[in-house]
Structure 1
Amino acid sequence: MSEARPPSFLLRGQSVPAPRPAPGLYLVATPIGNLSDITLRALEVLAGADILACEDTRVTAKLLQRFAIDRRPVSYHEHNEAAAGEALLAELTAGKSVALASDAGTPLVSDPGFRLVERALEAGIAVVPVPGASAPLAALLASGLPSDAFFFAGFLPSKETARRKRLEALARVPGTLIFFESPNRVAAGLHDMAGVLGDRPAAVCRELTKMHETVYRGALSELAAAFDAMERVRGEIVVCVGPPAAEEAAEGADAEAILAGLLAEMKPAQAAAEAVRLTGLPKRELYAMALALKAKD
């Protein structure tokens, strides 16, 4: 009876052994387009972990095939996260190593992995980041906009009224704003950004690291008009919008509006901590304000 082959991956035609990671939950960033952007550490963890979980097993299969990683991943996504999360937590509690990979980019950015991390930490399980590709950071690099302070706001609401309200909450954040956007809504989103935020410099990054990577730069009104004129927009979109003028952001920073925007993505304590950096106000004051805003929801 032959023994099972030890875990390995293929790199430049050479088989590289992959040691089993220590028990814990590993959050593995994967390429957002170009598969060569995978890190060596990510390959080791993907190949060596006891269990590999991912959003879409078909997407991850392409990455595994490219690097000859012979294993069958399990699915963990927003539609099965309750049952799948329970199963993964049981394996973690039993001392297994679990690698959680996104379809593209860094896990927990606009996916359900955050809930699994919360439960793992509550159970005293080690959570280990395996950093790598990130669409928001790649877009920020390509945008040419200030990168000393930035705020990732995920996807804007699909409805215009809710979208404009969200933009109003973010208007005075003193840093570059980064959004994910649907290709079907990017023109409407740019018009609302120009209307609410003012005609700031911006960049629309499409298909980053892929064959048809394109970065459009200009004022928000110019970009809105350009995308209006396009017959069809395809691909993954990231929009970066420059910060407000200094006089708008500093002394006039509206702590309540900033907190309202942060609370859409974070818990009160996390929102207060981030608002300290953005406003310079005392954390205790901001935390009390965040709790009050949360109570109104």
Structure 2
Amino acid sequence: MSVSTTLARPTAPDAAAGSGRAAPRRRRWGTGGVYVLLMALAVLFAGPLLWLLLAALKTREEWASGSTGILPERAQWSNFIHALTDINFAAYTLNSLFLATTYAVLITLSSAAVGFGFARLQAPGKRALFFVLLSTMMLPQILTLLPTYVLFSRIGLINTYWPWVLWGLAASPYLVFLFRQFFAAIPRELEDAAIVDGCGWGRIFFRIFLPLSRPVVVTAFLLSFTWTWGDYIAPALLLDVDHTTLSVAITAWYRDPRGNAIPTVQAAAAALYVIPMMVVFLFAQRYFIRSALSSGIKG
């Protein structure tokens, strides 16, 4: 009885081999689960864009009825032609590009300079001031938009691009936080060596710290460009018809002779409106990921 029991029991090496075979199997199942989750999230996030493209290929009757299914009976590529020709699409696109680029460049440089000051310079009350700066992130932009409009109206900056220039020069609390986190992780030896060589703080910032922060610079530019490109409220409130952006034009000026909106053409214009941001993100995604890894860890 004892002999048969002894023979039936697996030896220690056999048990170890069994657990060793089970470990890769568990890892494969875990990796497969992660991929399934990522694919499900990709489909979830791509769903609105797919719906937009399908809506852009439908007729107004199919859109109005909603009973013909998800796919259009016959693709209406003419909607994209109307989207490009019914309004001055190129001019409004250039307005949006100019406004977004100007704002993104200015706010990236100003936020980098402020983040450099908080990270490397010493001054009394610096921590308290940094806390006040971060606390402004809790204020919604819509809350300050009306007082800002009144201020710009009194100094004669309505229907101009100067408000975006001033906003860009004022820096962004979130971007300042990103730059501060990155600059704080740079070794002090680089700064000391530059000071010994006779460099001032301006040269240290532009010659050493700013080139080293390329991932954060690209990320800050991408985020601020996206904010301005996708903004509707501020251009609608501050700009007139000639100076407004593409987001306002898409919403306001695709109309039939009766003044009713044409949703299929608006959907086609919105699909074209997304393309520049997709191109910018595809070229900048590696810097965006690298910045997220390097700026959010060390304090």
**TM-score, with normalisation over the residues of structure 2?**
0.23
Give the number of the structure whose residues are more often strand, by fraction.
1
Tell me which structure has the larger Cα radius of gyration: 2
**TM-score, with normalisation over the residues of structure 1?**
0.23
